[in-house]
Amino acid sequence: MALLSMVASGCQPYLMPSSAVDAYPKADQELDFLAEVEKMNAITNNDAVHAFLLLQDGADAQPDYASRRAEAIRRGWMDRGASTNANEAARVGWMATAGCMVMQIKGGVSMHLFGPVPRYAVRELIFMEILPLRTENQVLSGSEFVDYLNRLDRISGRGRRASAASPLGTPAGESAASPGNEAAIQEGPLPEQGPLEAPAVPPDSSAAPGPVSPQSSQPVPPAAERASKEPVTPSPAHPVPKEPPAFGGAPR
């Protein structure tokens, strides 16, 4: 929380020693990239832009942060005053804007009027329980950022960006969870139709149970059903009929 307080109070930008994308720049190294990001105290600008390019395009063709920053500005994720420092901790505001644009989240009245500007994008994603409780000028830890990507990815039904070290189904930004921000997003696909749990054999509503016997808690079957279950006593006048012969064979 000291990091969050420092960023919010307008102190010098928080700098990380390096970015994970420096070691894992390729698309097929995405899981290694995310595992490295999870260990970091804060997500950097360089790593965040790289992650959003992977999220939208499945690849990152940009060779360095200067190129990634220019591409992020072209796509509207960042404004032209965005930090030029690759290893500076990324602000929640532009990351929320990028998330809304990539996932085409329309938001409420304010976002319809002003677009996914950082202030309203952050509020919308907090309301949707995709982002933890933050202001636009605060930052995310590496593990919180990976959780943020996972939650964005589940909107598209993919949910494929979970690394082995990141448990799913936890509240958004668990370290900063608030009473209004504790419900986890449903994991996994839901059935296309029908209830989640249905009885294996539906009850037969046409047969009404009979009265309950005083000596037993089991319902007493109706008279016609009782008669059909009682053994038939043979008599000369009414012999018991023999079973019909089996198909293609002699009587048993």
pLDDT in tens, 169-222: 555 654 443 333 333 323 333 233 333 233 333 444 444 455 544 454 455 555
Alpha-carbon distance of 118 to 78, in angstroms, equals: 9
**What are the structure tokens assigned to 30, written together?**
């995405």
Count of residues making up the chain:
252
Alpha-carbon distance of 73 to 89, in angstroms, equals: 17
Mean pLDDT of 97-109: 93
Mean pLDDT of 117-130: 95
Show Cβ contacts of residue 27 under 8 Å, excluding neighbours closer than 6 positions. 54, 58, 59, 60
Alpha-carbon distance of 107 to 128, in angstroms, equals: 9
pLDDT in tens, 227-236: 555 555 555 5
Closest to 165 (Cα-Cα) out of 27, 39, 55: 39
CB 50 within 8 A of CB 97: no
pLDDT tier for residue 239 given thresholds of 50, 70 and 90: low
pLDDT of residue 107: 86
∠ CA 190-153-1, nearest 5°, is 115
Alpha-carbon distance of 95 to 111, in angstroms, equals: 15
CB 203 within 8 A of CB 209: no
For the cut 70, the answer to whether the pLDDT of residue 133 exceeds it is yes
Burial of 222 (0-12, 13-18, 19+ CB in 10 A): middle
pTM, whole model, 2 decimals? Answer: 0.62
CB 138 within 8 A of CB 8: yes
**What are the structure tokens assigned to 156, written together?**
């598209």
For the cut 60, the answer to whether the pLDDT of residue 84 exceeds it is yes
Alpha-carbon distance of 171 to 187, in angstroms, equals: 12
Mean pLDDT of 153-162: 65
